[in-house]
Amino acid sequence: MRLGLKILVLCIIAYSLFSYQGTTAQNKKESTNYPNKDSELAILMRDLVENTEKVKKQIINGEEIEFFIEFKKLHTAVPTEVNLRDDGLYTAFTESYIYSVKELINTENDKATLYNNMIQSCINCHQQICPGPVKRIRKLKIKK
Ligand code: HEC
């Protein structure tokens, strides 16, 4: 429980930083200048958001989708909370998320639905482990 609370607090802090950075495109770039404050995983998550926004546009425009993220890094990137992977929950959610990405990559059919399923797996992990950004992640869904 104490660990859960700690992660929650960290996520709320991460979320406030994230929404602040979201206010101007300029500030977003500057965030890489503070490597001591931002964990490797937090930076990976920001790249993930950027990549996901790009893929969303590609699907809406009927273009080929491109992922530049190395998804394996989700398993190894150093998080703000060092005990994050201890109870196995994070790892299980990561596998489920990567599975949903593969489903999207491998389909030629309803990409929008599989894309929204993928966003739902971001949300599933975040609801359990890091609820701060959930509202922001929901907005990544494709409206149909
Ligand atoms: C397996 C669990 C998991 C999945 C899946 C996941 N996240 Fe995260 N996310 C986290 C954790 C844990 C953090 C906190 C990272 C840290 O501070 O070290 C985080 C942080 C973030 C942040 C805040 C980053 C910052 O600036 O500090 C955003 C935004 C985010 N995730 C968006 C997403 C999006 C979008 C997806 C799906 C494309 C996603 N996440 C998938 C667990 C997950």
Residues 6+ apart with CB under 8 A from 105: 65, 67
Residue with CA at minimum distance from ligand 1 atom 3:
125
Q: Ligand 1 centre from 83 Cα, in Å?
A: 15
Residue 115 CA from chain centroid, whole number: 13
Joined tokens for residue 75: 């398993």
pLDDT tier, 104 (very low <50, low <70, confident <90, very high otherwise): very high
Q: What pLDDT, on a 0 to 100 scale, did the predictor assign at position 15? A: 63
Residues 6+ apart with CB under 8 A from 40: 77, 78, 79
pLDDT tier, 25 (very low <50, low <70, confident <90, very high otherwise): very low
As a whole number, mean pLDDT of residues 12-29 equals 51
Alpha-carbon gap, residue 54 to 34, rounded angstroms: 25
Q: Ligand 1 centre from 126 Cα, in Å?
A: 7
For the CA of 90, the nearest atom of ligand 1: 1
129 in contact with ligand 1, CB cutoff 6 A: yes
pLDDT tier, 144 (very low <50, low <70, confident <90, very high otherwise): confident
Residues 36-92: tens digit of each pLDDT: 579 999 999 999 999 999 999 999 999 999 999 999 999 999 999 999 999 999 999
44 in contact with ligand 1, CB cutoff 6 A: no
1 pLDDT higher than 90: no
Residue 67 CA from chain centroid, whole number: 13
Q: What pLDDT, on a 0 to 100 scale, did the predictor assign at position 37? A: 74
